[in-house]
Structure 1
Amino acid sequence: MDSNKDEADRCLDLADQCIRDSKFEDAEKFARKAMKLYPTKRVEEILARVSMLSKQNKKSDPEPEVRKRQTTTNKENSQPHVNVEYSKEQYDYVKRIKKCKDYYEILGVTKEATDSEIKKAYKKLALQLHPDKNKAPGAAESFKAIGNAVAVLTDPEKRKQYDLYGSDEDRMQSAHSRSTHTHYNYSRGFETDFTAEELFNMFFGGGFPQQEFYMRRTGGRWMRQTPDSQPQHAHREQTNGYTAFLQMLPVLLLIVLTMMSSFFISDPLYSLHSNAKYSVERTTQDLKVPYYVKENFPSEYQGSLRRLEISVEEEYMINLRSTCYKERTYKDSMAWKARNFGDAELFQRAKNMDTPSCRKLQEIHA
């Protein structure tokens, strides 16, 4: 019974091909043969489809006799597709590919297979499924399937994504196939950059008159290149490098100027706060403001000491006024909050709050 079923499936595939070629009589013959071998619902659907298409063809054809003569002439001048012979082994290859659920099964390798094992499996199948050699129905589709498989599984990034998300899609596609009798969708969102024929030539190195060969980019994408195109490619890379340098030139100049400016900017002459660099304390003559200088200040500074002390006092007064403003603002906000909430204790604390910077300002202006 299994052999009858396989032969029936082969007849139905031939019937489908005849329907696509508008050869409805041949399609009906193959469908009726499949009905005798292994009757299924699919056989009934194809027979009904052939009958309907035949009637539509007769109604829409204004010159049936002329069309019949043309068809006869075409049959005499060219060999019909249904008469093309192929071996059972070739058809078995196509049939096996159609039943596969994922790329690993298509190539007949495990999920742990290396790149060399995957490429070796592809080469073996490609020689059996190439359309120039295998004329079985579905051979072209199967040839594309193994091309997609090898392109995805030899690309590290695509293979990683396929391993992560392939299983769920396989189950969804398998359920859909059982319900609608459609073939497995071999692309499944993983598109290749080249056709199946180009992939074949990548592995077998033939078919291109200009002796093209392929290199693989760092990102995993295939790049077609010829010996004539190598100088152009090198020139293009050189031009791109020069353009990138020009784009980066302003940034480089800015970095260099910043580094150079750091050599010309000297340290301040003094500091209002003591630290390791400014450790020697001095006091201005007028306001008695303390400030700090370096140890080598007496020998290094040759300017006017009076002008320097005026700068120290001005900076000191600016800082004092800023601090006094902050102290008064905080005191007023606390008093407003106390009045707003009726908190007598908080109001008293705000009233008694000390403002040392403001007090120093008053002492200086007194």
Structure 2
Amino acid sequence: MDGNKDESIRCVNIAQKFIAAGENEKAIKFLNKALRLYPLEKAKVLLNDLQNNEGGRGGGEPPPKNAEGIRQRTRGGTDQKEKAENQENEPADYTQEQLQLVKRIKKCKDYYEILGVSKEATETDLKKAYRKLALQMHPDKNKAPGATEAFKAIGNAFSVLSDPSKRKKYDVYGPETDTSHSHAHSDYTHGGYEGDISPEELFNMFFGGGFPSSGTTHYRRSRHAHHTHNFYTRDTQSESGYTLFLQLTPILLLIFLSILSSFFVSDPVFSMHRTDKYSVERKTYNLKIPYYVKEDFRPEYKGEMRRIERNVEEEYIGQLRGNCWRERSYKENLLWKARNYGDAKLYQRAQDYQTPSCDQLQKLYS
């Protein structure tokens, strides 16, 4: 509704310019359009004055007093008409493409149509569609009328469809399950389905607050939901202490068992890192992997060297595999971001990123 109000104000401004130019019929046309968009009091007053004047004159214009008045009125009317038409056809703060995108989203009937994806869309498809639309529709970038509501619709659509349980419910019952919401609210909730976070918070999660939040207002939960939450909060306060104790019992039991077991479990045979207790360095016979043992290691484990060194090598290779997986994942994420945003510097950084654990693992295998 706020977007309609902005458009209504713009129509009133154009109508005032036509009134100054003597183009009353065009002024009436724009005032009627303004009232259809939003019931502005100023539009009602201007339209009423124009209709009364038109009725008193029988639809005709009052005759000018002299020829100079005709020339002045003609010149002034032409200038004002051109300015009004230029203002209408060439808005300075948004493009026609941005306005068309806003209109398309506001006409959509369901969340899949808003994001432009099919009902079989994966999580990756939803993220790609949201990223593209959110950057185009953020009100601090798109100044077209209705951009704020369209931005909310995009955020709420992704928030619902990206949640498996909410998406399943939405697919089963459809977007028209609740008709009690107002029209303005249903512009972005489509039948009462709301995400758990606001569109602006969702945008900041994706882009790290790429735009300032001054142009966007966070939508709030309904007053009914607020009262319901308070009701359940008061009811559960008396049971909170007992419930908390039950929830903490397994954790306390685990802590107790851990402390108890520490008295019966002996120290490990070796360590992969040097410490005060494990100060003697050794290397495995097969892969030459360094490890550390206690000073009394040799006489105590003399007959189990092969088993111990096999365990050392398995633990070392397991650590390399875990580190290699993290290094490759980080490099792939850098490459994906660089390609997605067209960032040449980030792409070069990803290409230069080293994976020493993977290199060491490959060296061992070869």
Report the TM-score range of the alignment, normalised by the length of the smaller protein.
0.3 to 0.5
User: Which has the higher Rg, Structure 1 or Structure 2?
Assistant: 1
Structure with the larger RCO, 1 or 2 (CA within 8 Å, 6+ apart): 2
TM-score when normalising by structure 1: 0.38
**TM-score normalised by structure 2 residue count:** 0.38
